[in-house]
Structure 1
Amino acid sequence: MAYDEELADRIREAVEGEPGLSEKRMFGGLAFLVRGNMAVAASGQGGLLLRCDPAESDELVQRPGVSRMEMRGREMDGWLRVGQEVVDDDGALRHWVDVGLAFARSLPPK
């Protein structure tokens, strides 16, 4: 499945003006990076893939439509999937984009 280009455009709007921002095709989607660190992506599986503080993963996955990203059958702290039904709402999309941006800003540049 290709990523949702409309969702990518909405993310692009939300991150507009972010210093050090770049875009890169990753994980079957379109990722938005801050100084080389992935913040958020329009996922090829639908919805968002985003980075967060691993210490906040337990709390964040308690929200409806949010789960840890799985890679090779293992759930990963610090990587979340946010369902399309959640980010259909502009306010919710902005919230999750902000979570990803905040974490990416906290990392050293690559």
Structure 2
Amino acid sequence: MKPETEDLASRIRVALRNEQNLSERNMFGGVCFMLNGNMLCGASNTGNLLLRVGAEREADARTKPHTTEMNFTGRPMRGYIYVMPPGFADDQDLAKWLATAKEFVCGLPPK
């Protein structure tokens, strides 16, 4: 794993250290974090933060600086976004993004 991917994954682990039912899985060329069996976020191999925000919140999330569509396979994945490193440069920004993803994912049934 690239150093920037591992650095981001470490920051996510710290930010989510008190979450119950959190697991990790290697996906999308990086590491993804699952909450109650549902994908929450990830550290991509490009150093971007991958977030699951839901299809209805995606357009709003993409109006924020340093965001782009998640396009891993050549086609955009609905309900997911990438946040580029300047968008989560400090831990407060990272925590805000993770809270956005948690708000959506906590509304999903556990797997």
- What is the TM-score of this pair, normalised by structure 1? 0.90
For residues 55-89 of structure 1, give each alpha carbon's deviation from its aligned partner in whole angstroms, at most 9, with x where no partner exists. Answer: 01111101111111014332222110000121112
Structure number with higher relative contact order (C-alpha < 8 Å, ≥ 6 residues apart): 1
1:87 alignment partner in structure 2: 88
Match of 1:64 in 2: 65
Q: CA deviation at 1:14?
A: 0.8
**CA contact 1:49–1:80 (8 Å) conserved in 2:** yes
Equivalent position SS for 1:99:
helix
Question: % of aligned pairs identical?
Answer: 39
Which residue is 1:54 aligned to? 55
RMSD over equivalenced CA pairs, Å: 1.5
CA distance in 1, matches of 2:65, 2:90: 13
Q: Contact 1:47–1:87 (CA<8 Å) still a contact in 2? A: no
- 1:71, 1:5 → 2: CA distance? 19
Aligned residues: 110
TM norm structure 2: 0.90
User: 1:76 aligns to what SS in structure 2?
Assistant: coil
Unaligned runs of 5+ in 2: none
Is 2:13 aligned against 1:12? Answer: yes
Aligned residue type for 2:65: P
Gaps of 5+ in 1: none
Distance, in Å, in 1 between the alignment partners of 2:102 and 2:28 is 18
Aligned to 2:104: 103
